[in-house]
Structure 1
Amino acid sequence: MATEPDPQLLIASLLETAPIGIAVLDSECRYLHINAMLAASNGLPVAAHIGRRPRDILPDAGPGLEAIMHAVLASNQARTRFAACAEVPPGSGQLRHWEASYHPLPGRNGQPDGIIAMVEDVTVRHEAERLQRETEAHVRRVLDNLFTFVGVLSPDGTLQSANRAPLDAAGIRMEDVCGLKFWDCYWWNYAPHVQARLEHAVLQAACGEVSRFDVVVRMAGDSRLPIDFMLAPLRDEHGQITHLIASAIDISARKHSEDALRQNETLLRQVVEAIPDGLLMIDSHGVIRLVNQRMESLFGYPRATLLGQHFEALLPDSVRDNHRANVQHYMQAPVSRDIVSSQVLQARRRDGSLFPCEIGLSPLQVGGKPHVLATITALQAANKTAVNDQEAGEA
């Protein structure tokens, strides 16, 4: 009978192929595994980390990092996207900056067995931002204080007045834009398609409609700033539209967070796709909500076909009823465990052929609703005899 892949080798492969610093620590905050990227960021080789704690590697930052790890272990809740910095090497006066997330390492009893640390070295970005702040101090102060924009337009879109903040941020005077059509003002005339969108919004507002959308505005030095823009009609006591009110807020921080979230989602997807076992996530009704590439190759279904399908389609007809009962029982008190207590199961490919496999389950919450993440390990051909013998015995 073929042996299963060594979990330690799988972990090591994942650590080294991930495009981010990753480490696994035990419940005493001792390094069990660390990839070369994170080890280099800490200023020591991989071997120098194993069995030691963060305080041994980074004396000034380590105790604080361990305190966060212990909080994650105690609460079984991840701590994500927090900043950390330390001198590397210690005492050198050279600061290294990180953005880190600590996740509990699931244990068999439902309690965390340790910590999975995902760490991005942002020293270069941090230094670039510092230099940019120094060289563009005046413009940065203006942009940082640009919390709102207010403009008053006539119904035909002529700008009548604006508050001080957008004028200062753009490096212009009120007389430079007063009396112009709003879309012809400095903020918008860098691109015809942006002007067309503003002109259309003016027409809508003049007809009584409120427009709101994200748009990029031009600032001093031909720089760009994303804003949440709104244009609304102002009516008098008779309901007549007398003016149009333009307002906006700086959303550069939000955009940065959205970009970071997309990057994190991309990273997580890459990790999921890199796992050599089949992964699928089902909801409480048994409907498949997520699969990886290995699932497609194992079962012969394209991803689009698997998603939204009931998981029973992947099982032989002879075991569906029994397996359905097992899953229903599991969903009543879900814990991380093998669904059939380490028994070998058979799964059915798209072409109807069967293959032996083992399935592990881990419960999780998605959007506040229970889901189950299943890991499907295909067994080698040598295991088929064991499956046949087991089925013969059950018969």
Structure 2
Amino acid sequence: MEDLSLSPALASLEQATQSGTWVLHVGEARWVWWSPGTRRLLEWPADTGFPGLDGVMRFYTPDAQVRLQQALQAARRAGQPFDLEVQLITHLGRPLFVRVTGQAERDEQGAVVRVAGTIQNTDRSRRAEANAQALRERLAEFEERWRMATEGSGLGVWDWDAQSNTVYYSPQWKRLLGYDDAQIGDGPEESISRIHPDDLDQVMADLNAHLDGGTARYQNEHRMMCQDGQYRWMLDRGEVMSRTVDGKPLRVVGSFADISRRKFVEDVAHQVSSRLKAIFNSTYQYVGIVSPDGVLMEVNDTALRFADLKADAVIGKPFWACHWFQLDDAIAQRVRAAVGRAAQGELVKYQTEVRGAESLTHIIDFSLKPVFDERGDVTCLVAEGHDITATVFAQRALDANLRLFQAAFDESPIGTAIVGLDGRWIEVNAALCEMLGFSAEALKRMTFQDITHPDDLDIDIAHVQRLLDGEAAHYRMEKRYLCGDARVIQCQLDVSLVRDEHHRPKCFLSKIQDLTEQRRAEQALEEEKELAQVTLSSIADGVIRTDLQGLITFVNDTALRLLRMIETEVMGQPFDAVVRLLPEHSGRWRESPVARVLRDGAAADLSGVSLLALRDHTEVPVESACTPLRDLNGQLIGSVFVCRDVSAMQHLAQQLAYQAAHDPLTGLPNRRAFEAEMDAVRLIGQNGKGEHYMLMLDLDYFKRINDQCGHQLGDRVLRDISARMRARLRQTDVFARLGGDEFGLILRNCPLAQVARIAEGLIRSVSTYVVSFAGQTYPLGVSIGVAAIDATQSATQVFSRADQACYSAKACGRGVAVMDGQPLTAEGPVAEAERRVSAASQG
């Protein structure tokens, strides 16, 4: 049998951790060695020989003996390690839970030669777990009571765990949206996906502002899609209950209330609640051996697993420089100071934060115990840590939820009260006191019967009795209250019965809302509706409203006049049977705008003018629009068609368009229209098709007639000459007055020879026109400049060439047509006549 012993450090560790060591030799001479720590753990007398393996086995309970025998057999045969928690009875008869570990050792041939292990006292961990379980049960009981009160008040509750990104939605939260408990999952998308698209950006902005620490709490009013497909207004509130060290939210708790009715009648109705849920972590014990000068010499597996460390990463380092204390410098320096005090013989204990695996922060009960030798000198320090994170966090959560419950009660904008079974007011909030006109002290001296209107009291008491008899869980009624200032107000009362842990009635939770403003809003809404009907009947536009089936439910007088029908012929009829639209320039019927709006849920595009076909086979030009009609929740309920008779406006537009393009004196196209036609002919010329020419015509001697005979005669001459020249042209020719006595002519697809003949005819037509005034005859002629319309030249260049040619024609003696400096016609008859008139006057 080998002589085995422990080093002083391990012997101290055994003593400090209440553990022992054992070695089982597996050879032919099987023997077992037990350390002093094992003797102390089993409370075996020091002066008595320690029993062998079979004797020690009898200390364990029967179940433990079976498990240990199986583990030892597997270790001896297959070298399999084991780690068991079992129960034994010490030599002095004290029951004890211990942790037994074993590891096989092999020789060079791989055969198992011995099994060595430890025995550790785990009673303390067992007690810690029991305490934590008791605290969890207490918090669970508190949570159940809080849930009952919250559910009774009609509020929905949500609880977001940011680390797992899951959300608990209470059954009431789901019922508010019309769902059963199993129809809603636990993801954030269950809420986000149901938010109205127009509200989503603001909801996320308010929530992120609170999560980032910018606001004290989160609050938002928005629309939510319910199971029936309708949107309802909801008040969503929440508050971050805990954060990480760097300020990121860990848990957010909030309430969810239906405020659709308040939105509809402009009455404020807030319901605030919270839900408590404490999360406990398992408790652990961490042990290390530190030299008096602060160097870590040994550390147990629990402490290493806690921080996911290897032993060689911390052994030999200053204790305060190890991973656990590297949250900040203050924590490390406090550990260093504690090592100095413990090295002087002082027992040091305090709570501190430490860093575990993945840099998570934990809170531990930390202690440093000096270990003395026989001379009283400190040989080492035992560092011990007991994880109390769950206990600390649970207490914080309990305090936070108590504060949240009180805040929700006190700050609720709805009158809230806890009422005794005898009707006495036990607790009342400020909103209720303000509503009823009593102080809190005055209300607590009364019962609800004292301030209930006599005509409503019997009904209220009957409802209360139904709650007490178990026939209902809550009730709602409208009743009148007698206020402290002699007012009588109409209120909505919601009452739930709160029961104790034995399901016995304990008290009532009452929610009271003043309906005065709601009644006023309803009356105002009715008056506004009547005013809208009068207004629609008075406007100049025709208005027709339909339901979801396209049946007409309203038509104003303007629309009836436009349709040339009476109201009884229209009401209740399909829109398509009454209103038929045609595009202005097409004979095909338009798709019914009402059918399109009811199908697509969006406004129909009716841009431009349509023709309204009447039953007498006439058509009226109209501008129209058709839009969807929705209720307050955004649900489609019909359509609105609006139309306006644009006959007069269309006629006026046609007149203006004609005047803008024609000369008012002659009725010919003006210069603007002529230039537009020139651009069109130039485009044709770019394709190389046909010959096209422009003629510039300037009346000869017209200024003398206008000056000597007056403008009235001059205007008549212009009208007559315009008509004479127009009569000699083709239908495709464009003849325009460019201004004064200047005219322009565009000849399309006209050979030059034909141009010359047309020019000759125009000159003859003007020269044969006789102008007589005051017994005197005045000559009149026309000079013509001709220019080919060349696609390579701009319109300005063509105009310039024609104008230059016209100038040349006048230089040649007037009454001729000239192109590129060459006459196209003979000498004009006007010039000859003028010479005769001049000769006669001289003779």
TM over 0.5: no
Larger RCO: 1 or 2 (CA < 8 Å, sep 6+): 1
**Rg bigger for which structure?**
2
Q: Bin the TM-score by the shorter chain.
A: 0.3 to 0.5
TM-score, normalised via structure 1 length: 0.42
